[in-house]
Chains A and B, each alone.
Chain A
Amino acid sequence: MKQAKTLIRCILLDGFIFTFLALVALVVSIQPTEETMLKMGNNVMIFFGLWALGGVLVFILQKAKIKTLGNILFDPPQALTAQPDKHWTMSFWGIELIVAFIVAFITGLNVAHISIYELTDQDGLVGAMKVFGALFDPNWTILPKAILAVIETIFIAFMATVFAVPVAFVLSFLCAKNIMGSNPVSFGIYATLRTILNVTRSIEPLIWAIVFSVWVGIGPFAGMLALLLHSVASLAKNYSELVECVEEGPIEAIVATGASSLQVVWFAVVPQIILPYTAFTIYRWDINVRMATIIGLVGGGGIGTMIMQYQGQAMWEEVGCLVFVIAFVVWVMDTTSAYIREAIK
């Protein structure tokens, strides 16, 4: 049983490495046109065909008792000790690792268009120096405007956090396995909520901000809603993990007094989680301030929106002032929130 599991994992991993190498070899040797590269159906077939072929090869290697990278990662510990002490770069898996890495690195250089030539190009360099110089020579006359905008940003973040806390608080109990795992109905609620929250969280607030700016119009409200949604999802996860590791003893004791479920949560669970909740909440506000800045770039209001406007007109001195203000505020928030979290630990 265990062996079969390892074998499947090896076939998947080593087979994938084989597929990758084979694909790179294929692209380099055939030099396909852009048109062929975009033929999804064909390419998917080639991809899985190669993966299947790789799987067969790995299977043969496994039968021949040659240790692949997959074995090194997935074998149970006792199976590894029986290895002859050859230097790892001389073994099959070592060569596999080195080759895969080198090929991936070279492919990466090409895909990311990394080039020293571009980096040292005269025209580009002069342009960059101009922007950079301007950033370091901020136009302080817009400082009052910048301060008002950053206050807006801080409050967008603050409101998003304040609205998120009670929602996440309730959700955290519904998303905690130890509370919901006892019967099928509550487990269903638990699983559904978890999935919804996971999906919500995996979508960047930036995307939510775009959605909401269409919905309620560009501005701080859209930004707040985007952050709110993301904060609820993140806090509910943080909070529910805390609920999952509360101690059972006090809960049992309060249940034994004849208290109702609500009283049990309030008297036995809440006291155990209140401090870490607070710490997470402050941290979330801190994160929200940063995110609110970014969200502003797509029309979520506050100082981010201001940056976008000046940047669009290539007014780099003004942008420089804004960047300075943001850096300052983020630094202050970061330090205070870390300090407070440390203090209430």
Chain B
Amino acid sequence: MSKTILQVKDLEKTYENGVKALKGVSFDVKEGEFLVIIGLSGSGKSTLLRCINNLHEPTGGQILFKDRNITRLNKKDSRTLRSEIGMIFQHFNLIPRYSVLKNALTGALYRTPILSSLFGFFSQEDKDKALNYLDLVGIKEKAHVRADQLSGGQQQRVSIARALTQGPQILLADEPVASLDPATCHTVMDYLKKVNRELGLTIICNLHFLSLVRQYADRVIALKEGKLVYEGDPKNIDQSWFEEIYGESAKEVHVN
């Protein structure tokens, strides 16, 4: 059995405005796993991901990344942590005016000296890496096109390449396909699966559609109002669990 890469223990997050987004969430993530987090809007999925890479500071509990506590890091250590954890977003968050390649290269910012990076100099090694990952997500031929010229699905593939260029040990994906059409949705999810299989990269992904969850997830956890309400095999989510997670009146929609 593979090693545990991440342990979340009693994680709590209360925002400054008093909203309790996470109320003691615990789970483990195994190396090389494709873990999916589901839950209603506002259940705390995004908050959870952002706590893992220190974009938000948890207000309670612990996160162990390779057995090292990563809550309450200083500025420098939290930058180091972020460089080891890639993240992709619902709205891709590329820099529209930059080329696809330059966008991918921003994944190398952490290890590029500040002055060189400000002048746009990246090492040849990093350029090769970025091109290589653009190739992996099938968008290498667009390397010199401006990012805002691409379709949504293509942009999300660039953002995967950006995250991979970091050389991360975990990839976080916050609803990576929520603003894409169903067909493109599968393309992007297939690339994520490919990254997971071929590079052995651990992926933690927030998703809305259960049909996608069943197709791609190795394991699934469900959040409800900041608490963990389900953990297990996606195939075991039946009608009663579904109602438990999404409420009585919810109906499942399918993405084909």
- Quick one: closest A residue to B90, CB to CB? A249
B55 at the interface (CB under 8 A from A): yes
Whether the Cβ atoms of A249 and B96 lie closer than 8 Å is no
Q: Which of B28-36, B109-117, B183-191, B245-253 touches A?
A: B109-117
| A266 contact set on B, CB distance < 8 A | 117-118
Provide the bound-state CA to CA distance between A268 and B106, in Å: 10
B91 at the interface (CB under 8 A from A): yes
Whether the Cβ atoms of B98 and A271 lie closer than 8 Å is yes
A253 at the interface (CB under 8 A from B): yes
Provide the bound-state CA to CA distance between A267 and B105, in Å: 11
Q: Which of B4-12, B80-88, B209-217 touches A?
A: B80-88
Those of B86-111 within 8 Å (CB) of chain A: 86-87, 89, 91-98, 106-107, 109-110
Given A257-B162, A258-B81, A258-B109 in contact, is the A271-B114 Cβ separation under 8 Å? no
Whether the Cβ atoms of B118 and A257 lie closer than 8 Å is no
A256 at the interface (CB under 8 A from B): yes
Quote the shortest CB–CB distance from B254 to chain A (angstroms): 29
Whether the Cβ atoms of B159 and A253 lie closer than 8 Å is yes
List 4 tightest A-B contacts by C-beta distance, closest first: A258-B83, A258-B110, A253-B93, A258-B82
Whether the Cβ atoms of B93 and A252 lie closer than 8 Å is yes
Quote the shortest CB–CB distance from A246 to chain B (angstroms): 11
Interface size class of B (residues with CB under 8 A): 20 to 34
Interface centre among A252, A258, A262, A266 (most CB of B within 10 A): A258
Given A252-B55, A262-B118, A263-B118 in contact, is the A257-B110 Cβ separation under 8 Å? yes
B55, B96, B109: the one contacting A267 at CB < 8 Å is: B109
Show the binding face of B for A, using Cβ within 8 Å: 53, 55, 79-87, 89, 91-98, 106-107, 109-110, 114, 117-118, 159, 162-163, 166
- Quick one: closest B residue to A262, CB to CB? B114
| B79 contact set on A, CB distance < 8 A | 258-260
Given A249-B91, A266-B118, A267-B109 in contact, is the A256-B96 Cβ separation under 8 Å? no
Whether the Cβ atoms of B109 and A256 lie closer than 8 Å is no
Whether the Cβ atoms of A250 and B110 lie closer than 8 Å is no
- Quick one: closest B residue to A247, CB to CB? B93
A254 at the interface (CB under 8 A from B): yes
Given A249-B91, A249-B93, A267-B106 in contact, is the A257-B114 Cβ separation under 8 Å? no
Whether the Cβ atoms of A271 and B109 lie closer than 8 Å is no
A210 at the interface (CB under 8 A from B): no
| A260 contact set on B, CB distance < 8 A | 79, 109, 114
Provide the bound-state CA to CA distance between A55 and B53, in Å: 59
Given contact pairs A249-B93, A252-B89, A257-B109, a sample of 17 additional A-B residue pairs in the complex whose CB atoms are under 8 Å apart: A249-B92, A250-B94, A253-B87, A253-B93, A253-B94, A253-B162, A254-B95, A257-B83, A257-B162, A257-B163, A258-B80, A258-B84, A258-B109, A259-B106, A259-B110, A260-B114, A263-B114
Provide the bound-state CA to CA distance between A258 and B94, in Å: 15
| A258 contact set on B, CB distance < 8 A | 79-84, 109-110, 166
Provide the bound-state CA to CA distance between A160 and B137, in Å: 49
Provide the bound-state CA to CA distance between A237 and B218, in Å: 52
Given A262-B114, A263-B114, A267-B109 in contact, is the A255-B93 Cβ separation under 8 Å? no
Provide the bound-state CA to CA distance between A252 and B53, in Å: 11
Whether the Cβ atoms of A254 and B82 lie closer than 8 Å is no
| A268 contact set on B, CB distance < 8 A | 95
Provide the bound-state CA to CA distance between A258 and B53, in Å: 9
| A262 contact set on B, CB distance < 8 A | 114, 118
Quote the shortest CB–CB distance from B229 to chain A (angstroms): 27
Provide the bound-state CA to CA distance between A291 and B79, in Å: 47
Whether the Cβ atoms of A271 and B95 lie closer than 8 Å is yes
> Contact mask A93-131 → B, CB, 8 Å, 1/0?
000000000000000000000000000000000000000
Quote the shortest CB–CB distance from A251 to chain B (angstroms): 8
Quote the shortest CB–CB distance from B106 to chain A (angstroms): 6
- Quick one: closest B residue to A256, CB to CB? B87
Provide the bound-state CA to CA distance between A217 and B94, in Å: 52
A257, A263, A274: the one contacting B166 at CB < 8 Å is: A257
| A263 contact set on B, CB distance < 8 A | 109, 114, 117-118
> Contact mask A138-152 → B, CB, 8 Å, 1/0?
000000000000000
Provide the bound-state CA to CA distance between A250 and B82, in Å: 15
